[in-house]
């Protein structure tokens, strides 16, 4: 226990050495004094709190807020000294605020715990005691042998021991880690690959020695020592032997592997950024404003204390005859008395700091976050996914985003490749119903017939079918009866599935199969294809693997006729310069045309060898591959010698299917003033192609490159060249492409130069990025002098660090796991939903909370300034102007609900106008509504209104307090009540003037709050309450309202306060309208559904389907029984209905409603976005 505590405090780190020793199946040495190393368990933790640290940690985070810390100090002061007001006036609101906030944050963390438990409790199979045992993922220990079946995710970082394949290999996809959907082949060592059963594994004696946990996904150094017949055999281990947590097993029935890194020490977890409390720009502005108001409070308290002693300098005021000092008061220390008086004034004026501001903000964020989940436009019908809010603390930050950092694979694209066009021997072809049709011709051949390809066409398709790294999975063991190539396209794809190291290769091989040349598989060193049903075998002689420098891959084959031929494919810049025959120029022209259509292009070429040439080629390759020194350089020389004098066969055009409306979304974000960066782990060519097709890069944009930089000096020089080019060509737009290696150099010592280049580019693309590099880029902009608000969006585990680093993190509910969703602040099903999330929801949330914050400061200035002015008329005796009940309830009851409802439902502009005019987003950027100028206006307005409240009432009652017809006089409590009454009415009507979007709820709380104040005051002052020690307010309010002069004063003072503000608003709206005000006239017609009706309209027009909706309707009277408010589908099919509403309240055994609701066209957000 003591050791565990020391480890938690960081005094006893669990890893003392640079390497770790893992005994396979935990068979520790039986001799000597072996002390096993301690390793982390396999639990993944994404939550912030535990049951033990929740209270202290949450209280610490809450008391970091200035207002909370201030009020706990005030509460303690009230407990320690004699103050004008009761400690309850500060303690009760503070306790309410702390409790509500703790409940909200605890609930959100409970959801994170729930998601963690699903992962940690997943069933897995491990080999223990000679048998296969099922256990939970969290129970896996380092050294356990784990069995993983096809399509399962690896639960830990594993070293592969064996697979169901004879060669001990397996295929995996790492899309959730690095974004690449292509298959990767991993290997086991020969000595363990034969252990394909539990009994063989039980007898295996092996030890793995490897480095300690490292965040680099592509680096692993280790060795395995296998003991056979008393002899130790040592084999090296590298990244090709390591199976990373989060990757998925493909095309392999099952594998056995030993766990080496578990839990938070796995590479996936190490790439998570440490979770920290994110705080929005609005909250930071609130803290700044609170500091200013704290300064005002201290100034008023010090001034009042000084004026009190200045006034008491005269004996008649220091010790009047009616208030003689006691002996203790006469002998008390002047300094202590000064401090006591200062603290007393501090308590008297402390309500200028709005304690209820925080709880109102918390409630607004929590309740407002439900609108995102309820928004039908953010619902994805195909996957039945709705938008998800993991933290509501950042709602308003959605309206302040300046930079969007997005992943590519799975975020912008659907991970689906489709063959579209090709060029063969200078002629363009397109695929129509499984046939290659030349450009300009139609498919007029009879059904079922297939024109045979001849000459160059057949050679091109054969090259596509043979030059690749595709594997085949036979999912159906029973072969289909009859000819498998008998369906309408010529082939059946039901019994086999292609897996490729590149999605392009898979699409091309599938296209060749549809056309008539099917790759049937490989066995040993032979490749088989079926050309229109005829089986042909090619002997695989050599594979020239793809690399980033050559940008091509090749195979050397022996044809069935015995000839040797080289097939190669790659980027046009890597093939055409080395070609000497074929239609080179026409192919180049066609490649450019394909690229303009947004297609991913590859050029295919061949070279025929004579026997003598092949012998030379074979000798060079074998010599280079067996070299112990400078192997890579010799291989590059051999490849360059072989891949020359090529004959161009043609080119292919493959479409990487983008998600719907990606281009429109990126363009909308650009119009809104948001810069979009694409950060991907994919290849340079692939990333650029997708950027062009999705509109991130424009065709007219000048693309600058910072690629393959080798040193700091080289990188710095290239950055200076790019900066000069941007200055020289400042008229046109620039795009920048950076790779991961160059980015590391740029961030090492040239950050300012790199930032200067990036800020002058309209779009930036970073490729070959490691997960932590993505986070570093986001941090670079977060910490820049301008401190822009950043947003990161991605779908895989490789995006988690970026998502956690950005101000706002958004997870895409993609096909590969839920790591990004679990660690994000918000989750959406598709990238296109980002447009409405920012331009509409972000806009609404920001204007609502900005007004809420300013209004709170305004109404508290109105509240406490008359108290300060009153001290000038009571000899600074610390007499309160208001009754203590009014002091407590002003912010909690009398003025709280109108601003809360306003902050939930306010809409300056109709949501459809906001989406159609993205430029309106610029009006609220850079925290425009919480600028110091706006803050100063609201504060001065509060002081002006407070002066009018006080002196307006003073003019009425200052000289003659006889306001009743019977000559009865009013006292100080009546004066204070008159000020308080005018104040409650004025601040409520001020909010009514600020309201643009009125719902029945706004009317209810606005006029209801004023009515509640009058009713409460009548009951409070009209009855003698036995539990109150004193009741200064007895019958005061009734007498005040019975005076006609008081009513006249109330009306005059309220009009005097609000009339200039109305005139100002009208003046500015007509003479200097903002673009937002101009757009308000473009709002949709008033004939629209209510907020409840917009949530309960179904396909056939029926209303009130769910329990919550029905309850809301009956409560509000919006959907009376028997009456249908929802337009039917016959009315222009305007409302297609709602598939399901609030699925979280459906019973577990209740069948889901029919699928398929459609987005509402107009006014779906009458009272919520």
Q: Which DSSP helix (H) or strand (E) runs through 260? A: strand 254-261
Only one residue has tokens 């902050």, namely 903
Alpha-carbon distance 143 to 555, whole Å? Answer: 40
Residue 278 per-residue DSSP state? -
Please choose, from the candidates 492, 511, 348, the residue with its C-alpha nearest in 3D space to the C-alpha of residue 424: 511
Residue 730 per-residue DSSP state? -
DSSP-assigned letters across all residues of 423-443: EETTEEEEEETTEEEETT---
Which pairing describes strands 403-406 and 675-679: parallel, antiparallel, or unpaired?
parallel
Alpha-carbon distance 26 to 141, whole Å? Answer: 9
Distant-in-sequence, close-in-space partners of 953: CB < 8 Å, separation ≥ 6: 975, 978, 979, 982, 1049, 1053
DSSP-assigned letters across all residues of 15-54: --SSEEEEEGGG---SSS---PPP---S-----S--TTTH
Provide long-range contacts, Cβ within 8 A and 24+ apart, for 522-528: 527/466, 527/557
Q: Is 407 a catalytic residue?
A: yes
Q: Which three-class secondary structure state does DSSP give residue 786? A: coil
- For residue 229, the tally of other CB atoms under 10 A from its CB is 4
The answer to whether 598 touches 693, Cβ cutoff 8 Å, is: yes
Alpha-carbon distance 148 to 162, whole Å? Answer: 11
Ramachandran angles phi, psi of 630, nearest 5°? 50, 45
Q: Which three-class secondary structure state does DSSP give residue 145? A: strand
- For residue 474, the tally of other CB atoms under 10 A from its CB is 12
Residue 893 per-residue DSSP state? I
Ramachandran angles phi, psi of 104, nearest 5°? -65, -50
Q: What share of the chain is helix, strand, coil (3-state, %, to 5)?
A: 45, 20, 35
- For residue 131, the tally of other CB atoms under 10 A from its CB is 10
Distant-in-sequence, close-in-space partners of 508: CB < 8 Å, separation ≥ 6: 419, 464, 468, 602, 652, 654
Alpha-carbon distance 1108 to 479, whole Å? Answer: 53
Q: Which three-class secondary structure state does DSSP give residue 543? A: strand
DSSP H helical segments within 280-406, as ranges? 281-311, 315-318, 327-331, 334-349, 355-368, 370-374
Pseudo-torsion of CA 1037, 1042, 1047, 1050, nearest 10°? -10
- Out of 144, 393, 407, 923, which one is annotated catalytic? 407
Q: Which DSSP helix (H) or strand (E) runs through 106? A: helix 88-120
Please choose, from the candidates 396, 925, 844, 398, the residue with its C-alpha nearest in 3D space to the C-alpha of residue 673: 925
Alpha carbon of 1058 to those of 169, 239, 945, 982: distances in Å? 79, 72, 9, 12
The answer to whether 42 touches 139, Cβ cutoff 8 Å, is: yes
Please choose, from the candidates 470, 519, 474, the residue with its C-alpha nearest in 3D space to the C-alpha of residue 494: 474
List, in sequence order, every residue forming a beta bridge with 539; answer none if it has no partner: 526, 558
Alpha-carbon distance 707 to 766, whole Å? Answer: 10
- For residue 523, the tally of other CB atoms under 10 A from its CB is 9
Alpha-carbon distance 771 to 969, whole Å? Answer: 77
Alpha-carbon distance 1103 to 1126, whole Å? Answer: 7
Please choose, from the candidates 688, 684, 708, 680, the residue with its C-alpha nearest in 3D space to the C-alpha of residue 771: 680
Alpha-carbon distance 518 to 133, whole Å? Answer: 42
Catalytic residues: 407
């Amino acid at each position: 226990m003591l050791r565990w505590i020391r480890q938690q405090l960081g005094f006893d780190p669990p890893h003392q050495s640079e390497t770790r020793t893992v005994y396979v199946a935990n068979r520790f040495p039986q001799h000597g004094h072996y002390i096993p190393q301690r390793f982390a368990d396999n639990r993944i933790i994404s939550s912030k709190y535990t049951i033990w640290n929740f209270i202290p940690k949450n209280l610490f985070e809450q008391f970091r807020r200035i207002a909370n810390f201030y009020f706990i100090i005030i509460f303690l002061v009230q407990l320690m000294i004699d103050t004008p007001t009761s400690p309850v006036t500060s303690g009760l609101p503070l306790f309410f605020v702390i409790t509500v906030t703790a409940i909200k944050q605890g609930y959100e963390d409970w959801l994170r715990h729930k998601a963690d438990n699903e992962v940690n409790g997943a069933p897995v199979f491990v080999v223990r005691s000679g048998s296969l045992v099922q256990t939970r993922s969290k129970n896996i220990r380092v050294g356990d042998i784990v069995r993983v079946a096809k399509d399962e995710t690896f639960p830990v970082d594993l070293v592969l021991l064996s697979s169901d394949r004879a060669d001990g290999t397996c295929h995996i996809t790492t899309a959730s880690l690095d974004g690449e959907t292509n298959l990767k082949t991993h290997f086991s060592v020969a000595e363990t690959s034969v252990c394909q059963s539990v009994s063989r594994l039980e007898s295996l004696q092996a030890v793995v020695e490897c480095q300690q946990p490292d965040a680099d996904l592509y680096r692993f150094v280790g060795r395995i020592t296998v003991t056979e017949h008393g002899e130790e055999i040592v084999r090296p281990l590298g990244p090709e032997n390591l199976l990373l947590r989060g990757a998925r097993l493909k095309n392999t029935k099952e594998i056995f592997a030993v766990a080496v890194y578990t839990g938070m020490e796995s590479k996936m977890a190490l790439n998570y950024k440490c979770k920290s409390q994110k705080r929005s720009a609005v909250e930071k502005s609130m803290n700044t404003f609170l500091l200013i108001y704290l300064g005002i409070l201290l100034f008023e308290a010090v001034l009042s204390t000084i004026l009190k002693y200045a006034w008491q300098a005269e004996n008649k005021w220091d010790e009047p005859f009616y208030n003689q000092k006691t002996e203790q008061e006469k002998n008390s220390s002047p300094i202590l008395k000064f401090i006591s008086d200062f603290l007393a004034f501090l308590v008297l004026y402390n309500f200028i700091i709005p304690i209820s501001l925080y709880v109102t903000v918390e409630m607004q964020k929590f309740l407002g976050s439900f609108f995102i989940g309820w928004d039908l436009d953010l619902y994805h019908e195909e996957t039945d996914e709705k938008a998800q809010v993991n933290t509501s603390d950042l709602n308003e930050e959605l309206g302040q985003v300046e930079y969007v950092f997005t992943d590519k694979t799975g975020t912008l694209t659907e991970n689906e490749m489709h063959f579209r066009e090709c060029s063969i021997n200078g002629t363009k072809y397109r695929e129509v119903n499984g046939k290659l049709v030349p450009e300009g011709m139609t498919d007029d051949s009879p059904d079922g017939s297939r024109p045979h390809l001849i000459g160059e066409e057949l050679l091109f398709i054969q090259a596509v079918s043979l030059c690749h790294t595709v594997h085949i999975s036979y999912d159906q063991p029973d072969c289909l009866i009859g000819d498998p190539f008998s369906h309408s396209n010529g082939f059946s794809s039901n019994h086999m599935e292609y897996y490729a190291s590149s999605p392009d290769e898979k699409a091309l091989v599938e296209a060749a199969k549809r056309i008539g040349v099917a790759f049937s598989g490989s066995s040993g060193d032979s490749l088989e294809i079926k050309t229109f049903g005829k089986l042909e075998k090619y002997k695989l002689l050599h594979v020239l693997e793809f690399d980033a420098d050559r940008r091509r891959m090749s195979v050397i084959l022996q044809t069935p006729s015995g000839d040797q031929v080289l097939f190669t494919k790659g980027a046009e810049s890597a093939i055409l310069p080395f070609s000497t025959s074929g239609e080179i120029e026409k192919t180049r022209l066609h490649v450019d045309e394909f690229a303009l259509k947004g297609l991913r292009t590859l050029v295919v070429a061949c070279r025929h060898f004579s026997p003598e040439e092949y012998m030379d080629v074979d000798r060079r390759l074998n010599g280079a591959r067996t070299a112990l020194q400078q192997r890579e350089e010799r291989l590059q020389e051999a490849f360059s010698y072989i891949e020359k004098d090529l004959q161009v066969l043609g080119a292919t055009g493959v479409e990487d299917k983008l998600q719907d409306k990606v281009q429109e979304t990126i363009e909308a974000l650009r119009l809104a003033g948001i810069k979009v960066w694409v950060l991907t782990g994919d290849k340079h060519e692939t990333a650029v192609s997708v950027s062009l097709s999705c509109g991130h890069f424009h065709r007219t944009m000048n693309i600058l490159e910072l690629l393959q930089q080798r040193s700091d000096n080289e990188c710095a020089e290239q950055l200076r060249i790019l900066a000069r080019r941007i200055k020289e060509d400042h008229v046109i737009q620039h795009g920048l492409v950076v790779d991961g290696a160059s980015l590391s150099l740029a961030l090492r010592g040239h950050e300012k130069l790199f930032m200067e280049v990036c800020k002058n580019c309209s779009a930036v693309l970073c490729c070959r990025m490691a997960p932590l590099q993505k986070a570093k880029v986001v941090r670079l902009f977060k910490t820049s002098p301008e401190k822009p608000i950043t947003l990161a969006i991605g779908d895989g585990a490789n995006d988690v660090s970026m998502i956690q680093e950005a101000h706002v993190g958004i997870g895409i509910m993609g096909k590969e796991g839920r790591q990004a969703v679990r660690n994000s602040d918000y989750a959406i099903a598709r990238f296109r939903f980002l447009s409405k999330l920012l331009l509409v929801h972000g806009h609404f949330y920001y204007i609502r909370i900005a007004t809420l914050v300013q209004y709170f400061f305004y109404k508290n200035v109105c509240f406490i300034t008359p108290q300060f002015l009153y001290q000038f008329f009571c000899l600074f005796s610390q007499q309160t102007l208001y009754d203590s009940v009014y002091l407590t309830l002003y912010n909690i009851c009398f003025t709280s609900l109108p601003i809360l409802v306003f902050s939930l439902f306010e809409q300056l502009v109709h949501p459809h106008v906001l989406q159609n005019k993205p430029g309106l987003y610029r009006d609220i950027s850079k925290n425009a509504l919480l600028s110091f100028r706006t803050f100063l206006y609201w504060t001065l307005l509060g002081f002006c209104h407070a002066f009018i409240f006080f002196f307006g009432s003073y003019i009425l009652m200052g000289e003659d307090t006889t306001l009743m017809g019977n000559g009865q006089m009013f006292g100080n409590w009546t004066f204070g009540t008159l000020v308080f009454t005018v104040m409650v009415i004025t601040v409520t009507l001020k909010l009514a003037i600020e309201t643009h979007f009125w719902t029945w709820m706004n009317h209810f709380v606005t006029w209801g709050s004023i009515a509640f104040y009058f009713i409460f005051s009548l009951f409070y002052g009209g009855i003698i309450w036995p539990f109150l020690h004193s009741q200064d307010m007895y019958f005061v309010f009734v007498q005040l309202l019975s005076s006609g002069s008081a009513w006249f004063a109330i009306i005059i003072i309220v009009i005097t306060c609000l009339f200039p503000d109305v005139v100002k608003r009208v003046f500015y709206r007509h003479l200097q309208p903002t673009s937002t005000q101009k757009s308000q006239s473009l709002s949709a017609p008033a004939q629209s559904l209510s907020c409840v009706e917009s949530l309960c309209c179904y396909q056939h027009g029926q209303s009130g389907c769910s329990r919550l909706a029905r309850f809301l309707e009956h409560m509000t009277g919006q959907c009376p029984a028997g009456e249908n408010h929802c337009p039917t589908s016959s009315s222009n099919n305007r409302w297609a209905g709602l598939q399901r509403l609030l699925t979280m309240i459906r019973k577990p055994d209740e069948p889901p409603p029919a699928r398929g609701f459609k987005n509402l066209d107009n006014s779906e957000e009458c009272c919520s976005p």
